[in-house]
Structure 1
Amino acid sequence: MDFTFNEDQVALRDSVSRFLMTEAAPEVLRDIWETDRGRSPELRAKLAEQGLTAMSVPEVHGGLDLGDIDWSLMTQELGYYAIPDSLSDTAYVAAMLLRRLGADHPLAARWLPRIAEGSARLALAHPANPWVADALSADLVLHAQATDQGLALHALTPGTVSAVSLPSIDGSRRLAALSCTPNPGTQVLAAPDAQGLWDETLDRAAVNVAGQLVGLAQRMLDLSVDYVAQRKQFGKVIGSFQAVKHHLADVATRIEFARPVLYRAAMAVAVGDRHRAALVSHAKLVCADAAWTAGRKGIQVHGAMGYTWEVDLQMFMKRAWALGAAWGDRAFHKARLADALLADGAPLGPAATLN
């Protein structure tokens, strides 16, 4: 399978990376973390100017009409710079959900142009995520209501839902517990018609998180490499010690093995692969493992100071811990993967390998 990205995709990724390098430096992130909302309207506006908010919006609504494969590159950049904003929840996951309703659907026609221009923030409430990111500041909450026939889709505005703020180890994750009573007036799509849409959204959201985890792992590796190249012990930089090299080589290996699994999962979501659930769960597991390993090894080479506020590593490590349980924790994805591998017609063998 060819995972070569075209020139336009690479150019977009590189331009976004250069932009975030200056606009989302660690000292900027610390300042944003300490604000009441944990969000920067100025940064969000600049992200919109770069076209990120319009990526998944159809051209008819002022967007770029890009999809899952393109986002598999962008989510890594958002993770690498630990952007303190659930941008991809709105611009990627929620936008794609609205697209699936149809360009002429009233909800899509109303909200997709606002997403494209960066003036709307959407939150997604799903049983896989009992705590909803950015629910307190969302202009619209897309809510999956459990019914006897499956999940229904409801659109809740601030006046129809209340949210209680919850703490997070990651200072940029603004979580809330929702309290709402969906009614026929808020229902967009009834169950079971909405169930397939929510299943797709769950997988897309998991791929979104997996991409960010790979980006976080790469950033923690880079920070660790920079540190061991400068820190000296016994008259030598500690990066010259074999044990330290082994720690960081382990991280690099896990990242390199995680990326193609991420891209395969993104492609499965894009084309509606019949083994989509297994491929997505595989990606979430290996990408989370790469990030957890990067955090653990990073702490080992930094020493206890890696946990402290003054060291940049702790911001990326905390984000990795928080995202590891987002849109399905390890138990959820291991169970899905086991069900797929033990089922008849499982995606096994050279022609359908998960490796």
Structure 2
Amino acid sequence: MDFTFSEDQLLFQESVRDFLVNEVTPEKIRESWESETGRSPELWAQLAELGLTGITVPEALGGLGMSALDFVLLAQECGYVALPEPLVHTALVAVPLLTDIGGELAAQWLPKIASGEARVVVGLSQNLLVEDAHTADLILLQQGDDIHALTPGQFNLRHNESVDPSRKLYAVEATASNIVCSDVAVITACLNRGALGNAAQALGLAQRMVDLAVQYTSERNQFGKPIGSFQAVKHHMANVAVQLEYAKAPVHRAAYAVANDLNSASENVSHAKVVACEAANLAAKNCIQVHGAMGYTWEVDLHIFMKKAWALANSWGDAGFHKNRINDFILRADTPLGAGNTFLN
């Protein structure tokens, strides 16, 4: 059985990586921190032109009609550059939720998302703060077991600071009622996709932090040789590399489960979120350590990726939430455990 990604998927990943690395530099991210919205309409237009804002929008509504499995590699690349724009949120959360809701709401908003004309964000009870609510043309907000569709003028916002300057977080207070969905299963699927997006980005963030640390330790000399040649430094990087490699399969498995609506999707996503964020947190810890005193300065680019990793680890369900879901799954009487059940749905 072949579990590898297709050649087309890998080529798409490579082309998106090349674009993002060239366009989303640490210098541009720092510049965005000083702007009024923290977002770039020009970059968003470029992402739309490449078809990325509509990648999961059905073809009949102007998109590419692709799945979470097709997008997961691209989400990793978004993490690798610490993309401030809400592309992962759009493709994995907002668009699928609108598709699940369907009807006139989906027909109205999905073509606009695909063309880059509209930004739609989702706020669930699991996340007390909604990212990018200040630029949203539509907010899909959970209240109890209901999802409300709110446009500007139907909600109030209160800004909250984040450890990651690129994240623009807001408490949203609805001033109108417009229930468009009351299906708990749809809300659970939405939460899973948000957690999957964070897990995939965590993989990219961890890899970027390792790359930055390797570059720094190959250039920084001590006792007449690069510090990267010292065994203790090598061990720090090797520990991250091993944990990162072992986190990839659960994330890709979770993407498959979400894309194919498997019964195990919640458990698969929680597993992926835990291991990917643990790998990113270890990368942050070890990479800042090998940077030494330089690692604690604001000017070092490592901060950009480290702080985003910390922020993503605690959104769309923190470690405690996802470990509890895994625990509940393992301890169920009917859970099929053991090597012979590894590839069961």
Same fold (TM over 0.5): yes
| Separation in 2, partners of 1:198, 1:180 | 18
Which residue number corresponds to residue 98 of structure 2? 98
Q: Deviation digits for residues 196-250 of structure 1, max 9, x if unmatched?
A: 1011010011001100000000000111111111111111100110000000001
1:306-325 to structure 2, matched below 5 A, reads 306-325=295-314
Q: Deviation digits for residues 277-325 of structure 1, max 9, x if unmatched?
A: 1111110000000000000000110012213221110100000001110
Comparing 204-213 with 272-281, which one deviates more in the overlay? 272-281
| Separation in 2, partners of 1:141, 1:353 | 39
| Separation in 1, partners of 2:311, 2:261 | 28
* 2:154 aligned residue (147, 153, 160): 160
Which residue number corresponds to residue 342 of structure 1? 331
1:112-191 to structure 2, matched below 5 A, reads 112-146=110-144, 151-183=145-177, 186-189=178-181, 191=182
| Separation in 2, partners of 1:272, 1:349 | 23
Give 1:181 deviation, angstroms. 4.3
Unaligned segments of structure 1, at least 5 residues: none
| Separation in 2, partners of 1:19, 1:131 | 30
1:1-355 to structure 2, matched below 5 A, reads 2-102=2-102, 105-146=103-144, 151-183=145-177, 186-189=178-181, 191=182, 194-353=183-342
Give 1:346 deviation, angstroms. 1.7
Contact map agreement 1:154 1:187 (CA 8 A) in 2: yes
| Separation in 1, partners of 2:216, 2:48 | 34
Q: Which segments of structure 1 move beyond 2 Å, counting only runs of 4 or more? A: 351-354
| Separation in 2, partners of 1:259, 1:351 | 22
Contact map agreement 1:79 1:212 (CA 8 A) in 2: yes
**SS at 1:306's partner residue?**
helix
Give 1:350 deviation, angstroms. 1.2
* Letter in structure 1 aligned against 2:104: P
The aligned length equals 343
Give 1:251 deviation, angstroms. 0.6
* Letter in structure 2 aligned against 1:262: V
Q: Deviation digits for residues 139-185 of structure 1, max 9, x if unmatched?
A: 10001110xxxx112101111111101001101100001111452xx
Contact map agreement 1:69 1:263 (CA 8 A) in 2: yes
Percentage identity across paired residues of the two chains: 50
Give 1:2 deviation, angstroms. 3.2
| Separation in 1, partners of 2:147, 2:215 | 47
| Separation in 2, partners of 1:304, 1:108 | 51
| Separation in 2, partners of 1:226, 1:169 | 25
* Letter in structure 2 aligned against 1:219: R
| Separation in 2, partners of 1:346, 1:227 | 46
* Letter in structure 1 aligned against 2:165: G
Comparing 273-282 with 318-327, which one deviates more in the overlay? 273-282
* Letter in structure 1 aligned against 2:304: M
Contact map agreement 1:3 1:260 (CA 8 A) in 2: no
| Separation in 2, partners of 1:14, 1:3 | 19
| Separation in 2, partners of 1:42, 1:351 | 51
Contact map agreement 2:156 2:175 (CA 8 A) in 1: no
Comparing 24-33 with 279-288, which one deviates more in the overlay? 24-33
Give 1:273 deviation, angstroms. 1.6
Unaligned segments of structure 2, at least 5 residues: none
Contact map agreement 2:101 2:180 (CA 8 A) in 1: no
| Separation in 2, partners of 1:176, 1:216 | 24
| Separation in 2, partners of 1:30, 1:287 | 25
Contact map agreement 1:91 1:115 (CA 8 A) in 2: no
| Separation in 2, partners of 1:236, 1:347 | 53
Q: Deviation digits for residues 9-28 of structure 1, max 9, x if unmatched?
A: 11111111111111111111
| Separation in 2, partners of 1:152, 1:310 | 44
* Letter in structure 1 aligned against 2:180: V
